[in-house]
């Protein structure tokens, strides 16, 4: 027994030594950029990969018809060289010729029609119902010209089109969805080379076409590595195990700024934070929130500047309107509620709540922000009882009319138009807690017309009303911290859609 | 004996059923898979469509029953998040967890047995105090804290081991150390207690009287007899390691069952959570059962109970 034990220990030692030289470094020497993400990609088929990581996958390995510049939000040609609106419901696209999929097949109108119709069918349960749900049919006019016909007027058509990747019909149908999700083929600047453990390895597409908004990558290999714990990501950044990470919390980012080996950049996203208030009294017909003065008092009680500066940090700015500032139609010149505790208290007294009241508040994202909000509410006598749940549970509670106040945030699913946020939270949607006829009418009408000037005017009406009646307490923008090693330059976008093909070694 | 085993087996099945039902109910209460799956910004009608399609609009007991019937037929379902069969997900992740667990238990045994025995040989001595102190430290140190300490020292300060990921023995070294430290106390205590008892026995006195050298006594006579209960405890500890690696796998980004479970809990992906829990609890139940049987063979008194 002892001899066999000794043998086993010796062989274990031998195995350990045999493994010693294995240590893959990220970096310039092997032309490999390693980026860490908190979430794994559930599927390599963009149509079945939700969330912001899915969005990145869509940009890396696939192309859409149209490309949106991540800093100017200008729409540029990609797989389509030109497009025009034929009527309110119909868009026509001229397709780029000579574009090849990663397997060598030519991209044609057949592939585009197949891809868009795949997204349109609810049975396929693609990553986001909104992006394809508006499409009724795709007509192929010739091998390089198509028409996309919407079910109704779709003012956000192009914002959705930029999210819909073109996949090869023949290949995808022949191998099936499951096999495609493991060995996907697109036209994008990177090709999926391998998936092992936590890594997805992307190689440069040497045949990537020129003339579109995207370009052939400067870096040969890109590795998407899932590291769920942000502290581990930070340790890897310091030790040089990875080159890039984002969504690094402010406190960690502050410490990293002092490190010689990394750069920290804070940049805006579409995400904004706010409170939704049950102004319609859905959760309780006798809710104090039905009183406009109480809602205004809550709006006055929030020190947005302090929260943006100290809790969110970086480039975070206070916001006063119910939309992301960069979005089309985001009218910001609305009634303001600057931090004023005395005014808030006076409004509470006027409404008959000089002694305050107890209320339930729901949250899911940032505990420190929630604690601050509860503190601000407490200062004017609103004693908030916090329910801390998962995102989906909070949303369901609101839809079940159980939530007086929700500490919420929204990223508009990457759509740069208030048409993505207002119909979700107003216009008698399940998440509409105000049920205001003026807002409802304006938002609904804006969703059914194509005239951009008219839409803008309607959204202005809605946003003014939302602010006048204090249906929301908009709080701040939610930028994120990007951390990258000093040896690499990865351009930072304003919409989280990092373009790794533009990354280069210094 | 057959009756005893059958009774233990029946109990084990009941335990697994209870675990699966509890986890199902708790997961359903904590969040809504339809909303997670539909994605932020999706309309309520689509959420409703998903609920209908997957049968989540039915009452909880009905959903559980449907899942159970299929699971008993060997079909534990398809992951809603990954879109692939749960069994293949688990099969893909199992090797990493098993090798991590095996490495951790090997480390724990290699340190804890000699330490416990050395302590038990001379209770109250310096080495005994050290052994007991390490055992106390092991039970009272939070595993995530130890993990980050290891990363800080071995990963950054001395940069001798890779910080995250799997794939080689070097990658598994730090997480295995953290897990080993966590499972050492029980083994130290049991081998120490065993040693104390063995050293009092008559055959050791006989061995001494024969004039054998101390190391011969320890290795050839004491070790074997001390090891028997240690094996039983180690098998249970191994079960703990398989189940308890969720935190460690997350910190060190190990592509194993623990990481998969954590992801699935976050996504409310209940087929995966159910299967992962069942796999771990099955492993644990089997290990406990084996330990019980081994105990029974060692000690006839258990059989008579």
ipTM: 0.86
* Contact (CB<8Å) A241/B164: yes
**Are residues A233 and A379 located together in one domain of the fold?**
no
**Which of A23, A47, A197, A417 is the best substitution to test chain B (most B C-beta atoms within 10 A)?**
A197
- At residue B244, does pLDDT exceed 60? yes
Residue B44 CA neighbour count, 13 Å, CB half: 15
In a domain, A54, yes or no: yes
Q: Is residue A8 part of a domain?
A: no
Write out the E strands in A116-164. Answer: 135-142, 145-150
Same domain, A151 and A184: yes
Query: Which token pair is B59?
Result: 């009452």
Mean pLDDT, to the nearest integer, of B256-282?
85
Say whether both A320 and A189 belong to one domain: no
Nearest chain A Cα distance for residue B16, angstroms: 27
Residues of B whose CB is below 8 A from A395:
32, 35
Residue B302 has a pLDDT of 61
Q: Which helix (H) or strand (E) holds B188?
A: helix B169-200
Tell whether the model's pLDDT for residue B290 goes beyond 50.
yes
Asked if the structure places residue A49 within a domain, the reply is: yes
Confidence of residue B1 (pLDDT cuts 50, 70, 90): low
In the A/B pair of chains, how many CB contacts fall below 8 A?
Answer: 141
Residue A11 has a pLDDT of 46
The average pLDDT across B18-24 equals: 86
Same domain, A340 and A416: yes
Is A410 part of any domain? yes
Q: Between chains, do B262 and A228 touch, taking CB under 8 Å as contact?
A: yes
Within this chain, do residues A437 and A499 fall inside the same structural domain, yes or no? no
| The residue count for chain B | 305
In a domain, A376, yes or no: yes
Q: Band of the pLDDT at B304, cuts 50, 70, 90?
A: low
Single out the residue of A370, A495, A498, A503 nearest to residue A56, CA to CA. Answer: A498
pLDDT, averaged across chain B: 86
CB A79 within 8 A of CB A65: yes
- The answer to whether the CB atoms of A393 and B30 lie below 8 A apart is yes
A181:B83 CB<8 A: yes
What CATH number should be reported for the domain holding residue A106? Answer: 3.40.190.10
A458 and A491 part of one domain = no
Query: Which residues of B fall within a CB distance of 8 Å from A122?
Result: 46, 49
Q: Which residue has the higher pLDDT, B32 or B122?
A: B122
Of B37, B148, B219, the CB nearest to A231: B148
Same domain, A458 and A489: no
Regarding predicted confidence, which is higher, A168 or B34? A168
**Residues B41, A128: C-beta atoms closer than 8 Å:** yes
Alpha-carbon distance A131 to nearest alpha carbon in chain B (angstroms): 10
In a domain, A11, yes or no: no
If one compares B146 and B266, the residue with the highest pLDDT of the two is B146
Rg from Cα positions in chain A: 25
pLDDT at A462: 98
pLDDT of B38 reads 80
The closest CB to that of B41, out of A20, A228, A413, belongs to: A413
Mean pLDDT of B102-111: 94
The stretches in chain A having pLDDT less than 50 are 1-24
Predicted pLDDT of residue B233: 85
Total domains in the fold of chain A: 2
Other beta carbons within 10 angstroms of residue A441's beta carbon come to: 15
pLDDT value for A96 = 97
Shared domain for A42 and A160, answered yes or no, is yes
d(CA B111, CA B188): 9
In this predicted structure, the answer to whether residue B292 has a pLDDT above a threshold of 80 is no
pLDDT at res. A10: 42
* Chain A environment of B46 (Cβ under 8 Å): 122, 129, 133
- The CA distance from A329 to B159, in Å, is 52
The fraction of chain B above a pLDDT of 70, given in percent, is 96
The rounded distance, in Å, linking the Cα atoms of B85 and B80 is 9
| A105 shares its domain with A231 | yes
A198/B156 touch (CB, cutoff 8 Å), yes or no:
no
Residue A10 lies inside a defined structural domain of this protein: no
Query: How far is B219 from A484, CA to CA, in rounded Å?
Result: 55
Across the interface, which of A23, A239, A393 has its CB nearest the CB of B31?
A393
Phi, psi of A387 (to 5 degrees): -110, 110
Residue range(s) defining the domain that contains residue A310: 272-477
Tell me: do A426 and A501 sit in the same domain: no
8-state DSSP, B156? I
A198 and A339 within one domain: no
Confidence grade of residue B286 (pLDDT, cut at 50, 70, 90): confident
Spatial strand order of the sheet with A262-267 comes to A190-196, A199-204, A221-226, A32-37, A244-246, A480-485, A262-267
pLDDT at position A23 is 40
**Residue of chain B whose alpha carbon sits nearest to that of A364:** B31
Between chains, do B46 and A133 touch, taking CB under 8 Å as contact? yes
pLDDT at residue A13, rounded to an integer = 40
- Does A493 lie in the same domain as A454? no
Cβ contact A353:A282 at 8 Å: no
Identify the three-state secondary structure at position B185.
Answer: helix
Residue A227 has which token pair?
């590291």
CATH of the domain at A348: 3.10.105.10
Domains and CATH numbers, chain B: 1-73 (no CATH), 90-303 (1.10.3720.10)
Interface mutation vs chain B, best among A1, A11, A239, A394, most B CBs within 10 Å: A239
Alpha-helical regions (H) of B42-168: 44-54, 60-72, 86-121, 126-140, 143-150
**Residue A14, in any domain of the structure:** no
């Amino acid at each position: 027994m002892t001899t066999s034990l000794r043998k086993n220990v010796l062989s274990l030692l031998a195995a350990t030594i045999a493994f010693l030289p294995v240590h893959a470094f990220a970096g310039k020497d092997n032309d490999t950029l390693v980026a860490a993400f908190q979430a794994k990609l559930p599927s390599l088929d963009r149509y079945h990969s939700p969330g912001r990581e899915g969005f990145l996958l869509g940009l890396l390995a696939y192309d859409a018809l149209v490309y949106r510049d991540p800093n100017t939000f200008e729409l540029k040609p990609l797989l389509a060289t030109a497009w025009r609106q034929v009527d309110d419901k119909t868009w026509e696209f001229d397709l780029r010729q000579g574009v090849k999929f990663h397997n060598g097949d030519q991209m044609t109108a057949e592939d585009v029609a197949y891809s868009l119709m795949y997204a349109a069918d609810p049975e396929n349960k693609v990553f986001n119902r909104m992006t394809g749900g508006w499409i009724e049919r795709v007509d192929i006019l010739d091998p390089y010209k198509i028409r996309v016909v919407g079910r109704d007027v779709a003012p956000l058509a192009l914002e959705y089109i930029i999210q819909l990747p073109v996949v090869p019909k023949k290949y995808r149908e022949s191998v099936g969805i499951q096999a495609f999700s493991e060995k996907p083929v697109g036209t994008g600047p990177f090709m999926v080379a391998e998936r092992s453990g936590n890594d997805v390895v992307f190689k440069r597409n040497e045949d990537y076409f020129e003339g579109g908004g995207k370009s052939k990558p400067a870096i040969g290999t890109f590795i998407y590595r899932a590291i769920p714990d942000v502290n581990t990501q930070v340790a890897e950044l310091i030790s040089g195990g990875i080159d890039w990470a984002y969504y690094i919390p402010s406190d960690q980012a502050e410490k990293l700024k002092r490190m010689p080996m990394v750069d920290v950049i804070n940049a805006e996203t579409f995400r904004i934070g706010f409170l939704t208030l049950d102004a319609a009294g859905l959760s309780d017909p006798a809710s104090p929130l039905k009183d406009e003065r109480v809602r205004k008092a809550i709006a006055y009680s929030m020190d947005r500047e302090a929260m943006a500066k100290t809790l969110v940090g970086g480039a975070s700015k206070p916001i006063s309107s119910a939309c992301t500032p960069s979005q089309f139609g985001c009218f910001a010149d609305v009634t303001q509620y600057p931090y004023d505790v005395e005014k808030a208290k006076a409004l509470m007294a006027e409404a008959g709540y000089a002694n305050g009241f107890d209320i339930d508040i729901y949250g899911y994202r940032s505990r420190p922000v929630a604690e601050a909000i509860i503190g601000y509410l407490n200062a004017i006598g609103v004693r908030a009882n916090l329910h801390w749940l998962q995102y989906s549970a909070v949303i369901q509670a609101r839809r079940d009319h159980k939530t007086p106040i929700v500490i919420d945030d929204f990223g508009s699913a990457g759509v740069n138009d208030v048409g993505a946020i207002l119909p979700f939270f107003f216009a008698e949607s399940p998440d509409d807690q105000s049920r205001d006829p003026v807002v409802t009418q304006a938002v609904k009408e804006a969703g059914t017309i194509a005239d951009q000037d008219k839409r803008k005017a309607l959204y202005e009406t809605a946003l003014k009303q939302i602010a006048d009646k204090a249906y929301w307490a908009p709080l701040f923008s939610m930028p994120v911290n990007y951390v990258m090693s000093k040896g690499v330059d990865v351009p930072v976008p304003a919409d989280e859609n990092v373009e790794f093909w533009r990354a280069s070694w210094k | 004996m057959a009756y005893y085993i059958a009774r233990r087996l029946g109990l084990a099945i009941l335990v697994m059923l209870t675990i699966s039902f509890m986890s199902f109910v708790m997961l359903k209460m904590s969040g809504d898979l339809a909303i997670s799956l539909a994605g932020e910004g999706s309309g309520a009608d689509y959420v409703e469509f998903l609920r209908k399609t997957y049968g989540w609009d039915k009452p909880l007991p009905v959903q559980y029953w449907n899942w159970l019937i299929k699971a008993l037929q060997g079909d534990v379902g398809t992951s809603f998040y990954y879109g692939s069969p749960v069994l293949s997900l688990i099969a893909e992740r199992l090797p990493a967890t098993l090798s991590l667990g095996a490495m951790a238990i090997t480390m724990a045994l290699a340190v804890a047995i000699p330490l416990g025995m050395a302590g038990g040989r001379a209770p109250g001595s310096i080495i005994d105090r050290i052994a007991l102190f390490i055992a106390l430290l092991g039970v009272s140190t939070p595993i995530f804290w130890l993990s980050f300490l290891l990363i800080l020292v071995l990963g950054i300060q001395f940069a001798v081991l890779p910080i995250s990921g799997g794939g080689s023995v070097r990658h598994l070294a730090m997480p295995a150390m953290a897990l080993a430290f966590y499972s050492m106390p029980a083994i130290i205590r049991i081998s120490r207690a065993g040693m104390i008892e063995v050293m009092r026995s008559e055959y050791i006195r006989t061995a001494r009287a024969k004039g054998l050298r101390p190391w011969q006594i320890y290795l050839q006579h004491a070790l074997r007899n001390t090891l028997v209960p240690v094996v039983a405890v180690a098998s249970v500890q191994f079960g703990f390691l398989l189940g308890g690696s969720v935190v460690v796998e997350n910190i060190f980004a190990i592509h194993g069952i623990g990481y998969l479970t954590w992801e699935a809990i976050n996504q409310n992906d209940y087929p995966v959570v159910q299967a992962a829990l069942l796999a771990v609890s099955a492993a644990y139940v089997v290990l406990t059962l084996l330990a019980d049987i081994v105990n029974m063979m060692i000690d006839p008194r258990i059989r008579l109970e």
